[in-house]
Structure 1
Amino acid sequence: MNRSSIQSHLSSYRNSSFLLFRQRFALSFLLVAIAITTGFCQQPSRADQLNDEQIIEFYQRAQGSGLTEMQIEQAAMSQGYTLTDIAKMRQRMAKIKQQSNRTGQLSTDTLSSRSQQGTLSQRPLSSYDSLNLLRRDTVRRPNIFGASLFKGTSLTFEPNLRIATPRNYVVGPDDELMVEIYGNSTESFRLRVSPEGSVRMLNLAPIFVSGITIEQAEQRIVGRLRQAYQGLNRPNSGTYASVTLGNIRSIRVTMVGEVVMPGTYTLSSLSTAFNALYLAGGPNPETGSFRDIQVIRNNRIIRTIDLYDYLLRADKKDDIRLLDQDVIRVNDYGVRVEIVGQVKRPAIYEVKTGETLKNVLSFAGGFTDRAYTFSLTLRRNTPRELRISTIAQEQLATFVPQSGDKYTIGEILNRYENRVQVTGAVMRPGDYALGDEITSVRSLINRAEGLRKDAFLNRATLYRERDNTDLEAIPFDVGRLMRNETEDIPLLRQDSVHIYSVRDLREPYYVSIEGAVNRPDTIPYVTNLTVTDLIALSGGFQEGATPTRIEVARRIREDTTKMTGSETVQIFQFSIDRELHLLPADARFLLKPFDVVYVRTSPRYELQQNVSVYGEVQHPGNYAIESRGERISDILKRVGGLKTGAFLPGARFSRRGTVIATDLGAILDNPRMSGNLLLEVGDSLYIPKLPETVSIQGAVLNPSTVSFTSGFHFRDYVTQAGGYTDNARQKRSYVVYANGLKDRTKRFLFFRHYPKIEPGSKVIVPFGPLTDDRRLSPGERIGLISVIGTMTVTLTTVIINLVRLF
Structure 2
Amino acid sequence: MKKITAVLVLLFTFFVSLNMSAQDILQSKDLSTVKVDYLSDSDINKIKNQLDAKDLTIDDAEEAILSKGMSKSEFSKLKARLEEISRKDPKKKNSKDKDSKDKDSKDKDSNDKDSKDKDKNKKSEFGRKQQEIINNKIKDSLNALIFGSELFDNPTLNFEPDLKLATPMNYVLGPGDELQISVYGVQEFDDNIPVSVEGKITIQYVGQIAVSGMTIEAATQKIKAAIAKVYSTVRSGQSQVSVSLAQIRTIKVTIVGGKQPGNYSISSLATVYNALHLAGGPGKNGSYRNIELIRNNKVYRNVDIYKFLVKGDQSDNVSLKENDVIRIPAYSQRVTVEGEVKRPGIFEMKKGETFSDLLSFASGFNEFAYTASVNILQKTGKEFKVHDVNESEFSKYQPQSGDVVKVAKILNRFENRIQIEGAVFRPDYYSFTEGMRISELIIRAEGLKEDAYTKRARIIRLKSDLTTEIINVDLTKALEGDLNADVPLKREDIVTVYSILDFREEYKITIDGEVKNPGEYEYYENLTLNDLVVQVGGLTGSASKRVEVARMKKSDAINDNDPKRVDVFELEINEGNNEQIKNFALMPFDVINIRRLAVYEKPEMVKISGAISYPGKYVLANKKETVYNVVMRAGGLTSIANLDGMKIKRPIKEEQIEKLQSIDLNLTKEDTIREKRLAKKLKEELKYATIPVDWERIVKDKNHYSNVTLFPGDEIEVATYNEGVKVTGNVLLTSEIPYRRGKSFKYYLNAVGGVDNMGWKKKAYIIYPNGKAAVATSFLFFRSYPKVTPDSQIVVPEKPVTKKMTAGEWVGIGSVVSSLALLILTAFK
- Please give the alpha-carbon distance, in whole angstroms, between the structure 1 residues aligned to 2:562 and 2:712: 44
Q: What is the Cα deviation at residue 251 of structure 1? A: 1.7
Task: Please give the alpha-carbon distance, in whole angstroms, between the structure 1 residues aligned to 2:749 and 2:329.
Answer: 112
- Superposition pairs for residues 600-679 of structure 1, below 5 Å? 600-643=595-638, 651-656=646-651, 657-668=688-699, 670-671=701-702, 676-679=707-710
Distance of 2:425 and 2:251 partners within structure 1 = 79
Conservation of the 8 A alpha-carbon contact between 1:144 and 1:347:
yes
Q: 1:265 matched to which residue of 2?
A: 264
Summarize deviations over 1:147-180 as a string: whole Å, max 9, x none: 2222333332222334332222111223222111
Kindly indicate whether residue 343 of structure 2 is the aligned counterpart of residue 345 of structure 1: yes
Residues 755 and 388 from structure 1, CA distance in 2 versus in 1: closer, same or farther, beyond 3 angstroms?
closer
* Residue identity opposite 1:150 in structure 2: F
SS of the residue aligned with 2:203? coil
After superposition, give the CA deviation of every residue in 1:246-299 in whole Å (9 maximum; x if it has no partner): 22222222334x43444433222111111222233323341x332222333334
Letter in 1 for 2:301: R
Is 1:565 the counterpart of 2:596? The answer is no
Contact 2:271 2:320 in 1 (8 A): yes
Secondary structure at 1:295 match in 2: strand
CA separation of 1:59 and 1:528: change in aligned 2, threshold 3 A: farther
2:225 pairs with 1:211: no
SS in 2 for 1:359: helix
Q: Aligned to 1:576, which of 558, 573, 576?
A: 573
Matching residue of 2:156: 154
CA apart distance, 1:231: 6.2
* Change in CA separation of 1:106 and 1:481 when aligned onto 2, cut-off 3 Å: closer
Offset at 1:243? 0.5
Deviation at 1:184, TM superposition (A): 0.9
Any conservation in 2 of the 1:697–1:765 contact (CA below 8 Å)? yes
Aligned mates of 1:351, 1:754 — CA distance in 2:
104
- Aligned partners of 1:272 and 1:322 also within 8 Å: yes
Distance 1:514 1:310 in 2: 81
- SS of 1:217's equivalent in the other structure is helix
Rounded to whole Å, the distance in 1 between the matches of 2:691 and 2:426 is 74
Superposed, which structure 2 residues align to 1:274-285 within 5 Å?
274-285=273-284
The 5-angstrom pairing of residues 432-511 of structure 1 reads 432-435=430-433, 439-456=436-453, 460-475=457-472, 487-502=485-500, 504=502, 508-511=506-509
Give the match's secondary structure for 1:165: coil
Aligned CA distance change for structure 1 residues 31 and 721 (closer, same or farther; 3 Å): same
Aligned to 1:138: none
Match of 1:419 in 2: 417
Contact 1:510 1:524 in 2 (8 A): yes
Whether 2:367 is the aligned partner of 1:372: answer no
CA distance in 1, matches of 2:346, 2:309: 14
1:19 aligned residue: none
Where do 1:717-728 residues align within 5 Å?
A: none
Q: Give the Cα–Cα distance (whole angstroms) in 1 for the partners of residues 732 and 144 of structure 2.
A: 92
* CA spacing shift, 1:696–1:222, aligned 2, 3 Å: closer
Q: Secondary structure at the match of 2:290?
A: strand
TM-aligned CA deviation for residue 639 of structure 1: 3.1
Q: CA deviation at 1:227?
A: 1.4
Looking at structure 1, the residues matched to 71 and 572 of structure 2 have their Cα atoms a distance apart, in angstroms, of 126
8 Å Cα contact 2:419/2:494 also seen in 1? yes
C-alpha displacement of 1:542? 2.6
Q: Displacement, 1:413?
A: 0.2
Q: Offset of 1:232 from its aligned partner?
A: 2.9
Specify the alignment match of 1:358 in structure 2: 356
Structure 2 match to 1:252: 252
TM-score of the two chains, using structure 2 as the length reference: 0.68
Q: 1:606 to 1:206 in 2, by over 3 A?
A: same
Residue 683 of structure 1 corresponds to which residue in structure 2? 714
Change (3 A) 1:722 1:499: closer
In the other structure, the counterpart of 1:197 is 199
CA-to-aligned-CA distance 1:11-45 (integer Å, 9 cap, x gap): xxxxxxxxxxxxxxxxx9x96999xxxxx986279
Aligned length: 682
Q: Deviations over 1:497-523 (max 9, x none)?
A: 233445555665444433333333444
Write the distance in 1 (CA, Å) between the matches of 2:775 and 2:263: 112
Task: Name the CA distance, whole Å, in 2 between partners of 1:745 and 1:176.
Answer: 109
Q: Would the alpha carbon gap of residues 457 and 187 (structure 1) be closer, same or farther in structure 2, given more than 3 Å must change?
A: same
Determine if contact 1:701/1:722 at 8 Å carries over to the other structure.
no
Q: Is the 8 A contact 2:187 2:233 kept in 1?
A: no
Between the aligned partners of 1:290 and 1:655, the Cα distance in structure 2 is 89
1:509-552 superposed Cα distances (whole Å, 9 cap, x missing partner): 44443333333344444554443443334333333232x12333
For residue 187 of structure 1, what is the aligned residue in structure 2? 189
- Structure 2 contact 144–150 (Cα < 8 Å) conserved: no
Counterpart residue type for residue 634 of structure 2: V
Kindly indicate whether the alpha-carbon contact (under 8 Å) linking 1:517 and 1:540 is maintained by their aligned counterparts in 2: yes
Partner of 1:243: 243
Q: Look up the match of 2:129.
A: 115
Query: CA 1:32–1:310 in 2, change beyond 3 Å: closer, same or farther?
Result: closer
Q: 1:201 to 1:444 in 2, by over 3 A?
A: same
| Structure 2 counterpart of 1:251, one-letter code | I
How far residue 182 of structure 1 moved from its aligned partner, in angstroms, is 0.4
Which whole-Å CA distance do the structure 2 matches of 1:756 and 1:106 have between them? 94
Closer, same or farther in 2 for the Cα pair 1:104/1:560, shift >3 Å? farther
1:344 aligned partner, one-letter code: K
For 1:274, the aligned partner's letter is Y
State the AA in 2 paired with 1:450: G
Q: Deviations over 1:406-450 (max 9, x none)?
A: 3322211000011111123322111111115x7233432332223
Q: Which amino acid aligns with 2:604?
A: Q
* 1:366 Cα deviation from its structure 2 partner: 0.9
Verify the 8 A CA contact 1:661 1:741 in the aligned structure 2. Answer: yes
Deviations 1:359-414, CA, capped at 9 Å, x for gaps: 22112111100111112223344465444333222332343444443332221100
Work out which of the residue numbers 36, 40, 44 in structure 2 matches 1:43.
36
Q: Residues 342, 555 of structure 1: CA spacing in aligned structure 2 closer, same or farther, 3 A cutoff?
A: same
Q: 1:564 to 1:421 in 2, by over 3 A?
A: farther
User: Post-superposition shift, 1:241?
Assistant: 0.7
Does the C-alpha gap of structure 1 residues 570 and 264 become closer, same or farther in structure 2, counting only changes over 3 Å?
same
Q: Which residue of 2 aligns with 1:776?
A: none
> Would the alpha carbon gap of residues 353 and 632 (structure 1) be closer, same or farther in structure 2, given more than 3 Å must change?
closer
RMSD across aligned positions (CA): 5.4
TM-score (norm 1): 0.70
Pair 1:551–1:248, CA change in 2 (3 A): same
Q: 1:242: how far off?
A: 0.8
Matched AA of 2:715? S
**1:575 and 1:583 in contact (8 A); partners too:** yes
Q: Deviations over 1:446-483 (max 9, x none)?
A: 32223333445565432222334344444556566556
Taking a change above 3 Å as real, the CA distance of residues 226 and 57 of structure 1, as seen in their structure-2 partners, is closer
> Distance in 2 between the 1:240 and 1:574 partners?
120
Pair 761,231 (structure 1): closer, same or farther in 2 beyond 3 Å = closer
**CA separation of 1:300/1:517 partners in 2, compared to 1, >3 Å: closer, same or farther?**
same
Closer/same/farther in 2, CA of residues 558 and 663 from structure 1, 3 Å limit: same
Q: Counterpart of 2:339 in structure 1: which amino acid?
A: G
Q: Residue 389 of structure 1 aligns to which amino acid in structure 2? A: H
Evaluate the alpha carbon distance shift between residue 332 and residue 512 of structure 1 in structure 2; reply closer, same or farther with a 3 A threshold: same
2:548 maps to a residue whose letter is E
Q: Secondary structure at the match of 1:199?
A: strand
Q: Residue 633 of structure 2 aligns to which amino acid in structure 1?
A: R
Question: Are residues 733 and 442 of structure 1, via their aligned partners in 2, closer, same or farther at CA, if it must alter by over 3 Å?
Answer: closer
- Offset of 1:719 from its aligned partner? 9.7
Cα distance between partner residues in 1 of 2:537 and 2:296 = 101
Asked if the contact 1:45–1:85 (Cα under 8 Å) also holds between the matched residues in 2, the reply is no
**Counterpart Cα distance in 1 of 2:737 and 2:362:** 98
Aligned in 2, Cα 1:688/1:227: closer, same or farther, shift over 3 Å? closer
Q: 1:597 aligns with which of 582, 592, 602?
A: 592
C-alpha deviation, 1:618, in angstroms: 3.9
Distance 1:373 1:56 in 2: 85
